[in-house]
């Protein structure tokens, strides 16, 4: 190894490593606690002192996916033996499964709206970004600034007229309405990020293709798109995470058919108060995909965050 005056000593590295790891471990406590709580029984979850060691139970997950009704001991005794583990858990609490809960529907809504709006914002965003990057567009800078400044509005401020507008158009509480709304919010970031990626692709490639007789559209499709694939993918992840996590619009504009998981999870109620293991189970299922995504795609994601912010 070559000697450099700016090379940090191993002692400094050791100290800074320890401090950072300590912070990282502390920061993980709430997330680990969510996952631990999801495997507790309701009494275990609210015991004092908080239980670190406990017998894992799937009661939280069962409660998350089902609705239950309390029955009298006589009826319970007269029932045939439970068919599966879920029923057994529920019967131990003197209850029977009445039907499925709304959770899987809400989760599916999150998936549909998340992927729908991501696809739309990346699709429209790529086209717009290409145009901004390659063509002379009158007032391009003003347009770009305008696109970006739409992000400064508090969501509630836009929610009032959108609420009225959607009611008139029949879009309130529909998947399409939410997809369009999230696309409009995301597209500013998408155009901004994608323009950066496309700017980096040398123009000469397309020109060569144009001379070879490609149309402009073919050149875009066959030359630029493959080159921008990584950029498009990381932009898509940002759009997806935003739509997945969004709460303000979801809680104001949806109530039933198109409600996503974030407004739903906090409202899960058990017997005599909030059912924390069930809430934790819902949170775990909802947060885990994003966490796995983040760890797996960390290089692109971390670059994307700084890139998007610093380019301004």
Partner 1 sequence: MASERSPMGAINMSDKTIDRLAGATPVRVARKIKGLSDRAIAWIFVGPTIFLLLAVNIFPLIWTINLSFTNFKANRLNREVEYIGLRNYERILGDSDIWLSMQATAHFLFWTLFFQVLIGFTLAWLINKKFKGNDLWTTIIVLPMMLSPAVVGNFWTFLYQPQIGLFNYIVTFFTGADPSSFEMLGSVDLAPWSIVIVDTWMWTPFVMLICLAGLRSIPDYIYEAAEVDRASKLRQFFTITIPMVLPFLMLAVLFRGIENFKMFDLVVQLTGGGPGSVTEMASINLKREAFEKWRTGYSSAFAIILFVTVFGLASIYVKALNKVKER
Q: How far is the CB of 94 from partner 1 (least distance, A)?
A: 24
* Residue among 86, 112, 124, 225 that touches partner 1 (CB under 8 A): 124
Helix axes 103-134, 229-245, angle to 10 degrees: 140
Contacts (Cβ under 8 Å, ≥6 apart) of 140: 132
103 binds partner 1 (CB under 8 A): no
Q: How far is the CB of 175 from partner 1 (least distance, A)?
A: 15
211 binds partner 1 (CB under 8 A): yes
Judged by CB under 8 A, the stretch of 10-18, 62-70, 72-80, 96-104 that binds partner 1 is 10-18
Q: How many CB atoms lie within 10 A of CB 64?
A: 25
Q: Which residues ranging from 21 to 40 are in contact with partner 1 (CB under 8 A)?
A: 21, 23-24, 27-31, 33-34, 37
71 binds partner 1 (CB under 8 A): no
Name residue 68's beta-bridge partners: 97
* Residue among 56, 92, 111, 203 that touches partner 1 (CB under 8 A): 203
Q: How many CB atoms lie within 10 A of CB 143?
A: 14
Q: Which residues of 223-259 are buried (b: 16+ CB within 10 A; e: fewer)?
A: bbeebbeebbebbbbbbbbbbbbbeebbbbbbeeebb
C-alpha torsion sign, points 48, 51, 55, 61:
positive
Mark residues 157-196: x for contact with partner 1 by CB under 8 A, - for none. Answer: xxxxxxxxx--------------xx-xx--xx--x-----
84 binds partner 1 (CB under 8 A): no
108 binds partner 1 (CB under 8 A): no
Q: Which residues ranging from 267 to 296 are in contact with partner 1 (CB under 8 A)?
A: 274, 276, 279-280, 282-283, 286-287, 290-291, 293-295
Asked if 197 and 311 count as a contact pair (C-beta separation under 8 A), the reply is no
């Amino acid at each position: 190894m070559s000697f450099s005056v700016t090379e940090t000593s191993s002692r400094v590295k050791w100290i800074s490593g320890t401090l950072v790891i300590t912070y990282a471990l502390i920061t993980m406590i709430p997330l680990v606690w969510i996952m631990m709580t999801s495997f507790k029984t309701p009494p275990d979850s609210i015991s004092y002192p908080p239980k670190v060691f406990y017998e894992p139970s799937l009661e939280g997950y069962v409660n998350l996916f089902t609705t239950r009704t309390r029955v009298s001991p006589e009826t319970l005794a007269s029932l045939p033996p439970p068919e599966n583990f879920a029923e057994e858990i529920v019967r131990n609490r003197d209850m029977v499964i009445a039907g499925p809960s709304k959770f899987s529907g809400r989760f599916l809504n999150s998936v549909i709206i998340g992927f729908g709006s991501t696809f739309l914002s990346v699709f429209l965003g790529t086209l717009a970004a290409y145009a901004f990057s390659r063509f002379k567009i009158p007032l391009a800078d003003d347009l770009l600034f305008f696109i970006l400044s739409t992000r400064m509005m508090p969501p509630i401020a836009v929610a009032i007229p959108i609420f009225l507008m959607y009611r008139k158009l029949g879009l309130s509480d529909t998947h399409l309405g939410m997809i369009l709304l999230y696309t409009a919010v995301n597209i500013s970031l998408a155009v901004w990020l994608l323009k950066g990626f496309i700017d980096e692709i040398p123009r000469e490639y397309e020109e060569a293709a144009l001379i070879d007789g490609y149309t402009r559209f073919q050149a875009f499709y066959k030359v630029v798109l493959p080159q921008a694939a990584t950029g498009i993918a990381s932009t898509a992840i940002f759009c997806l995470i935003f739509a997945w996590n969004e709460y303000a619009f979801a809680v104001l504009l949806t109530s039933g058919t198109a409600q996503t998981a974030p407004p739903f999870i906090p409202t899960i109620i058990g017997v005599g108060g909030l059912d924390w293991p069930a809430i934790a189970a819902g949170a775990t299922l909802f947060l885990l995909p994003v966490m796995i995504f983040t760890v797996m795609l960390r290089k692109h994601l971390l670059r994307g965050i700084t890139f998007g912010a610093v380019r301004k």
